[in-house]
Amino acid sequence: MRILVIGAGVLGSYLAHVLVRGGNDVTVLARAKRAAQLQQDGLVIRHYFQRKTTVDRVKVISELRTDDIYDLIFVVMKYNDFPAVLPLLADNLSTNIVLVGNNGDTHGMQRFFKENSRAPQNIVFGFQLSGGIREKNGRVISIRMGVQMVLGSLEGEVPFKPVLAQAFRQTKYKLDYPEDINAWLLSHIVPIVAITSVSYLHNGDLAKATKDNARWKQAVALIDEGFSVLNKLGIKTNPAALVKGVKRHPKLLYQGMKLVHKLPFMKLVDGSFSEISALYQAFEPLKQQAGLPTPAWDDFKQQTFKKYALEQK
């Protein structure tokens, strides 16, 4: 199967690795230095928990032509980077496209394709449950314990499920199809914003972050506020167990988040302010629509944006 992966960061690199090992004809779209690394060294991944390193050869392109058609296109990017590639995808004649990553505007992106696609396209949204970092030499350190992708369409059943099943048929990669992918992604934004904000406010120093009890308690409050906003708007939060845990056992959740951040591999999980800020902005219309007080959320947003502004001076 002919597959294109746009985005050669941590998640895109691992997805390309899985698809190559699954017997597919995989091409990666990468630019500049990253493209040169892939062409010279291949796709190098250190699998942290599995204690092994793999090297895969992939085709590399630096631009997507209109008539360069693939059976599947996976776009694996940070939320704030999606807008730059949407016009390129709409101009391409490939039919099946999966946008993988944090997403606070699925409906807006779906609408963009309906209004701008050169030909009818099936748009699906997904999230790959793994993490890690990419080192300066191009090697990816992948953090995962098993791996899966949640996938869904805004228009009912995913229209190309058989194509996806065939692409992953010879892999151990799990595909999960939640009932409402938009609700799943919005629910995911809430804890991501809380956790990454704490880390960012401590400059990524997890040793200091784990000692900041006040911030972690505030992070739990932020999560509670975010889920309350979604519930007020009738958006089914997922996973339900986490939502109940925030309400019934906030202290346990706060201790759990601190404990996770003490684990050695957490220093290898990347987080950038550019995506945090975009997720804050994406959630703002929902907060306004719900009309609920969100003091913890607002304070975190103010502090992170203030820190970033000072860093730019």
DSSP string, 13-38: HHHHHHHHHTT-EEEEE--HHHHHHH
For 40-188, where are the E strands, in sequence order?
Answer: 43-47, 52-56, 59-61, 72-76, 96-100, 122-128, 131-134, 140-143, 148-152, 174-176
| Helix (H) or strand (E) run with residue 312 in it | none
The arithmetic mean of pLDDT across residues 109-126, rounded, is: 97
Query: What's the CA gap between 133 and 294, in Å, rounded?
Result: 32
Domain with CATH 3.40.50.720 in the chain: 2-177
Query: What's the CA gap between 94 and 91, in Å, rounded?
Result: 9
Q: How confident is the model at residue 268 (pLDDT cuts 50, 70, 90)?
A: very low
Query: What's the CA gap between 273 and 308, in Å, rounded?
Result: 8
Return the pLDDT at 151: 97
pTM: 0.93
pLDDT tens for residues 185-218? 999 999 889 988 888 888 877 778 778 888 888 9
Cα 178 to chain centroid distance, Å, stands at: 16
* Nearest by Cα to 198 from 223, 211, 215: 215
Query: What's the CA gap between 56 and 61, in Å, rounded?
Result: 16
Tell me what percent of the residues of the chain surpass a pLDDT of 70.
89
Using an 8 Å Cβ cutoff, are 99 and 125 in contact? yes
Query: What's the CA gap between 67 and 86, in Å, rounded?
Result: 16
Per CATH, the number for 2-177 is: 3.40.50.720
Query: What's the CA gap between 249 and 259, in Å, rounded?
Result: 15
Region of poorest pLDDT, from 30-34, 55-59, 147-151, 245-249: 245-249
The arithmetic mean of pLDDT across residues 27-46, rounded, is: 96
Region of poorest pLDDT, from 17-21, 69-73, 258-262: 258-262
- Would you state the structure tokens that stand for residue 250, as one six-digit string? 């906030």
The CATH number of domain 182-312, selected from 1.10.1040, 1.10.8, 1.10.357, 2.60.40: 1.10.1040
Pick the more confident residue, 257 or 173.
173
Judge whether residue 297 has pLDDT over 80.
yes
Return the pLDDT at 265: 44
CA distances from 92 to 61, 120, 160, 171, 191 (A): 15, 10, 18, 28, 35
**Dihedral sign, CA of 279, 184, 197, 133?**
negative
The arithmetic mean of pLDDT across residues 155-176, rounded, is: 96
The arithmetic mean of pLDDT across residues 144-149, rounded, is: 84
Output b/e per residue, 292-308; b: 16+ Cβ within 10 A.
eebebbeebbeebeeee
Return the pLDDT at 243: 62
Domain with CATH 1.10.1040 in the chain: 182-312
* Nearest by Cα to 47 from 130, 141, 131: 141
Return the pLDDT at 7: 95
**Strand arrangement of the beta sheet that strand 174-176 belongs to:** 59-61, 25-29, 2-6, 72-76, 96-100, 122-128, 148-152, 174-176
Judge whether residue 269 has pLDDT over 90.
no
Judge whether residue 65 has pLDDT over 80.
yes
Query: What's the CA gap between 193 and 196, in Å, rounded?
Result: 5
Query: What's the CA gap between 242 and 139, in Å, rounded?
Result: 34
